[in-house]
């Protein structure tokens, strides 16, 4: 594996690119509707599309009692969420929908683990702080060879390792970026404690990379290691299929695909469930916050729903 530290001069340019990407991507390369990250013509930003500024005054539901009342000094996960100087107010405002403390506890994260995060984004600031001193953070993405040569996001995958900036205050000395599925493995076999795939499974399904990526996760995880998946959840009775590219997947399908790759389903959680999400939005999940792709059309309705209904699944690589 390689460690990629970026020159300080790069940071100013990257900030400009990130701002452009958060506005929906450059004219040359529009935002990828199948993922929560946004690619531009010359860099990959890791943040999800933010809530538009006009939504800042929208009321949010009350924060989870457990997370809000916890003492940050006694729990490293709570500290990484609530006492983290690297988290922006905009990102922290989404805790009421994303439930980071409960989600990371459910997956069993510890500050001394080696953890991968696919399509690094909203969780990156939290994971960087949690793992900075004793852990090992690895941002991962698909190797470009897994995508067709004419796929519009292959160039971004090819730049991913060089463009992902590990030389940021939130990261410790061991932070890295790597791709999975290439001819020369960048992450050793059985070296990862936890692999997080958060709101990214649909992107792999649409790109046709799910099967090889699951094989890679099985390879890099230690026996007993955890594959943690959070994914927009389709109604089990829905006639929609992945071909409709709405961002939602059926929980039964995800479980079937992942267990077929050799993993065992250890536990399911409703931490990220949202019963108010009817899942019938014409453009799919992106009609909801934070994207609000329909603009003012039914905006108040979508804000009242909040972020999507999501499955939270904990898989393990068998020890035997």
Q: What is the pLDDT of residues 138-183, one digit of tens each?
A: 999 999 999 999 999 999 999 999 999 999 989 988 899 999 999 9
Output the pLDDT for position 320.
80
In a domain, 31, yes or no: no
The two beta strands, 114-118 and 192-198, are parallel
Of the candidates 54, 101, 97, 98, the one whose C-alpha atom is nearest the C-alpha of residue 78 is: 101
In a domain, 23, yes or no: no
In a domain, 18, yes or no: no
Q: Is 108 helix (H, G, I), strand (E, B) or coil?
A: coil
Distances, alpha carbon 319 to alpha carbons 107, 190, 226, in Å: 17, 11, 11
In a domain, 136, yes or no: yes
The two beta strands, 192-198 and 264-269, are unpaired
Give, as one character, the DSSP assignment of residue 50. Answer: P
Q: How many domains does the chain have?
A: 1
Give the whole-number percent of the chain exceeding pLDDT 70.
Answer: 77
- Measured CA to CA, the distance from residue 19 to residue 17 in angstroms comes to 5
In a domain, 67, yes or no: yes
Output the pLDDT for position 67.
46
Residue ranges making up the domain that contains 311:
62-316
Q: Residue 201: which CATH number?
A: 3.40.50.150
In a domain, 40, yes or no: no
Contact 258, 229 (CB under 8 A): yes
- Summarised one tens digit per residue, pLDDT across range 208-243 is 999 999 999 999 999 999 999 999 999 999 999 999
Burial environment of residue 52 by CB neighbours within 10 A (0 to 12, 13 to 18, 19 or more): middle
In a domain, 68, yes or no: yes
In a domain, 7, yes or no: no
């Amino acid at each position: 594996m390689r460690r990629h530290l970026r020159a300080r001069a790069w940071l100013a340019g990257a900030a400009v690119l990130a701002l452009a990407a958060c506005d929906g991507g450059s004219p040359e390369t529009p935002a990828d509707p199948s993922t929560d990250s946004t690619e531009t013509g010359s860099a990959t930003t890791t943040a999800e599309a933010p809530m538009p500024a006009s939504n800042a005054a929208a009321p949010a539901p009350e924060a989870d009692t457990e997370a809000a009342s916890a003492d940050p000094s006694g729990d490293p996960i709570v500290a990484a969420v609530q006492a983290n100087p690297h988290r922006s107010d905009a990102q922290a405002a989404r805790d009421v929908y994303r439930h980071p403390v409960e989600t990371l506890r459910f997956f069993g994260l510890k500050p001394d683990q080696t953890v991968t995060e696919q399509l690094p984004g909203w969780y990156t600031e939290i994971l960087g702080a949690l793992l900075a001193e004793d852990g090992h953070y690895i941002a991962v993405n698909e190797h470009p060879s897994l995508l067709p040569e004419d796929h519009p996001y292959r160039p971004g995958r090819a730049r991913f390792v060089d463009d992902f900036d590990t030389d940021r205050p939130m990261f410790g000395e061991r932070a890295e970026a790597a791709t999975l599925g290439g001819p020369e493995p960048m992450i050793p076999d059985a070296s990862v404690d936890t692999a997080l795939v958060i709101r990214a499974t649909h992107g792999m399904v649409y790109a046709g990379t799910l099967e090889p990526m699951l094989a890679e996760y099985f390879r890099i995880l230690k026996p007993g290691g955890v594959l943690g998946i959070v994914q927009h959840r389709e109604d089990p009775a829905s006639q929609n299929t992945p071909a409709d590219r709405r961002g939602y997947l059926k929980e039964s399908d995800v479980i079937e695909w992942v267990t077929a790759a050799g993993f065992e389903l250890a536990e399911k959680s409703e931490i990220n469930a949202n019963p108010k999400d009817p899942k019938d939005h014409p453009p799919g999940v992106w009609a909801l916050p934070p994207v609000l792709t329909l603009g003012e059309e039914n905006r108040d309705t979508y804000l009242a729903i909040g972020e999507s209904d999501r499955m939270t699944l904990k898989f393990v690589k068998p020890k035997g």
